[in-house]
Chains A and B, each alone.
Chain A
Amino acid sequence: MPLKLTIVTAQRTVLEQDGVTKLVVPAAEGQITILPSHAALMSSLAIGEMVVFTGTASESIAIHGGFIQVANDEVSVLADAAERVDQIDLERAEAGRARAQARLQGRDANLVGGLDVLRAQLALQRSLTRLRVARRRVGGATGAPSSRP
């Protein structure tokens, strides 16, 4: 039996999809793949790309942390934020990446506390995820998530 997937954020329901055959998820402790009849699971999520396979089609979604619950072939994702390909603003993501990188490189100048470094690293991760997901729009939505170019 295929999986039923729901992705919700505090603001809205991002995706509701039946007939999911495979799911690749950026779990907190590393990437995991969920197939039908998966054992019941609760895990927190990292920032990263989630890929939803429905038969031969697939869709990439940028997930910015949160929580996943799998039980009885029902998958609920409580995302802190989630963006589908068409919701990502490529220019903004690129600008965000540049900003975060600049911050990290000039670290000793402005960033003193470890918290600021962490914040910049998270921002960098988020924008890289966005960019990776957004790039799938051009390349067509097939295949497994490639490693970073």
Chain B
Amino acid sequence: MAGGGQVRGIRDRIRSVSSTAKVTRAMELVAASKMRRAQERAVQARPYAETMRAVLAQLAAATGGGDGASLHPLLQARDVKHVSYVHITADRGLAGGLNSNMNRAGASLVLEYQPKVDRVSVISAGRKGRDFFRRSGMELLADFPELGDFPNFEDVRPIARLIIDDFVAGRVDQVFIGYQRFINAAVQRPTTRQLLPIIAPSEVVSVGKAVDFIFEPSPEELLATLLPRYVEMQVYEAVLEARASEQSARMVAMRQATDAAKEMVSDLTLAYNKARQENITGELLDIVGGKAAVENA
């Protein structure tokens, strides 16, 4: 009977959609708890970053302010032939528009520099970004996949080491980094900024009025130990932000999927009941009709 088949079809769909809802709901919960942890890590890294910026600003002021180009190779702006771009994305999807928005922002930076310089290359950290640039035929200088959900400072350091080495050796003249900045659980913003040459933080906020520091060893030597750390710290910070963004985007996407699935289940249930009712009515009519035919015979 056609009616029965339809009822069964709807019932199967209800079952399948509601099991999908269960899966997305579970993924939402997992992402929510990972988001809390990722966010906490980003917050915990902040005091170090802030202190380092303040210290660097002091040092920059003590060593003669803006014209630091000759002080340290990492401060040296030069003729730009080769631009490298560090692209940080998630390894996995199911995070709404997070990765594609980041890829778009990265692509627009690359497209902006391609006509201006001889060579633009990409360093990817995250599979989604790597696959995107690989598909579009960009030159991948290096790839750092699988940093995990909660990478350590040590996990991220090789990225910084690579760009520092390339920059100091003159193989790369300018380096940018792009990542999803975590604003809050609902908002992430694709952000790109320059990593090298280092633009020294200028505002001296921490100590109030200018203080005469004793430097041990010399300010120049201190700068030399601090600047590489500063680059490492910036890369680390970017990765932490990207991870907090990833988890919150995934949480929101999964919540929407769960809601959509639940709505679909309720629509399907209505259709199911209606079809079932029609079936029963049809059967009753058959019986009544059959009985009448027997009695009349």
Neighbouring B residues of A8 by C-beta, 8 Å: 47-48, 51
Find chain B residues with CB under 8 A from A41 CB.
Answer: 213-216
Whether the Cβ atoms of A67 and B225 lie closer than 8 Å is: yes
Give the docked Cα–Cα distance between A39 and B212 (Å). 8
A-B interface pairs (CB < 8 A), number: 82
Interface status of B132 (Cβ within 8 A of chain A): no
Cβ contacts under 8 Å, A27 to chain B:
216
A8 CA / B50 CA spacing, docked (Å): 10
Task: Tell me whether chain B's interface is mostly helix, strand or loop, or mixed.
Answer: helix
CB distance from B65 to the nearest CB of A (A): 16
Contact between chains at B208 and A78 (CB < 8 Å): no
Please determine whether B217 and A10 come into contact, CB atoms closer than 8 angstroms.
no
Complex interface residues of chain A between 124 and 149 (CB less than 8 A to chain B): none
Which listed residue (A10, A76, A80) contacts B236, Cβ 8 A?
A10
Q: Does A95 have its Cβ within 8 Å of any Cβ on chain B?
A: no
Chain B interface, number of residues (Cβ within 8 angstroms):
32
Chain B positions 192 through 216: 1 when the CB is less than 8 Å from some CB of chain A, otherwise 0: 0000000000000011100111111
Q: A40-B214, A42-B215 are in contact. Are A67 and B236 (CB under 8 A)?
A: no
Say whether B233 contacts A42, CB under 8 Å: no
A12–B152 Cα distance when bound, in Å, is: 11
Say which residue of B45, B213, B232 sits within 8 Å of A42 (CB atoms): B213
**List of A residues within 8 angstroms of B152 by Cβ:** 11
Q: Is B52 in the interface zone, CB < 8 Å from A?
A: yes
CA distance A111 to B207 in the complex (A): 46
Determine whether A9 belongs to the interface, using a CB cutoff of 8 Å to chain B.
yes
Whether A10 touches B45, Cβ cut-off 8 Å, given contacts A42-B59, A78-B55, is yes
Q: Once the chains bind, are B51 and A42 in contact (CB under 8 Å)?
A: no
Q: How far is the CA of A78 from the CA of B206 in the complex (A)?
A: 15
Distance from A21 Cβ to chain B, minimum over Cβ atoms (Å)? 21
Interface string of B10-42 (1 = CB under 8 A from A): 000000000000000000000000000000010
Question: Chain B residues in contact with chain A, CB under 8 A?
Answer: 41, 44-45, 47-48, 51-52, 54-55, 58-59, 152-153, 206-208, 211-217, 219, 221-222, 225-226, 229, 232-233, 236
18 A–B pairs (Cβ distance < 8 Å), ordered by A: A10-B236, A13-B47, A39-B214, A40-B207, A41-B215, A41-B216, A42-B213, A42-B214, A42-B216, A43-B215, A43-B216, A44-B225, A67-B222, A69-B55, A69-B58, A71-B211, A76-B51, A78-B48
Sample of 4 more A-B contacts, CB < 8 Å, known A11-B45, A67-B55, A69-B58? A8-B47, A13-B44, A28-B217, A72-B211
